[in-house]
Amino acid sequence: MKTHENIFIKNARFVVLPRIEDGIDGTISVAEYSDHIPFLIKRVYYIYNLIKEGAIRGKHAHKELEQVFFCARGSCDVELDDGANKQIIHLTKPNVGIYLGSELWVTFHKFSMDCFLLVLASDIYRESDYIRNYEEFLSYLNRAGKKT
Query: Which tens digits make up the pLDDT trace of 105-147?
Result: 999 999 999 999 999 999 999 999 999 999 999 999 999 777 6
Residue spans of alpha helices (H) in the chain? 134-143
Tally of structural domains, the chain: 1
DSSP 25: G
| Residue 29 domain-assigned (yes or no) | yes
| Residue 30 domain-assigned (yes or no) | yes
Marked catalytic residue, from 4, 36, 60, 62: 60
| Residue 58 domain-assigned (yes or no) | yes
pLDDT at 52 over 50: yes
11 in Cβ contact with 18 (< 8 Å)? no
Whole-number pLDDT of residue 114? 96
| Residue 44 domain-assigned (yes or no) | yes
- Report percent pLDDT > 90 for the chain: 89
| Residue 43 domain-assigned (yes or no) | yes
DSSP 6: S
State the burial class of residue 38 (Cβ atoms within 10 Å of its Cβ: 0-12, 13-18, 19+).
Answer: middle
| Residue 32 domain-assigned (yes or no) | yes
Q: Is 144 left (phi over 0), alpha (psi -120 to 50) or beta?
A: alpha
CATH number at residue 63: 2.60.120.10
Could you give the CA distance from residue 90 to residue 128 in angstroms, rounded to a whole number? 29
Q: What is the pLDDT of residues 53-62, one digit of tens each?
A: 899 999 999 9
The domain in which residue 134 lies consists of 12-143
Run of H or E including 102: none
| Residue 3 domain-assigned (yes or no) | no
Active site residue 60: yes
Entry pTM: 0.90
Could you give the CA distance from residue 93 to residue 14 in angstroms, rounded to a whole number? 11
- Of 95, 124, 110, whose CA–CA distance to 28 is shortest? 95
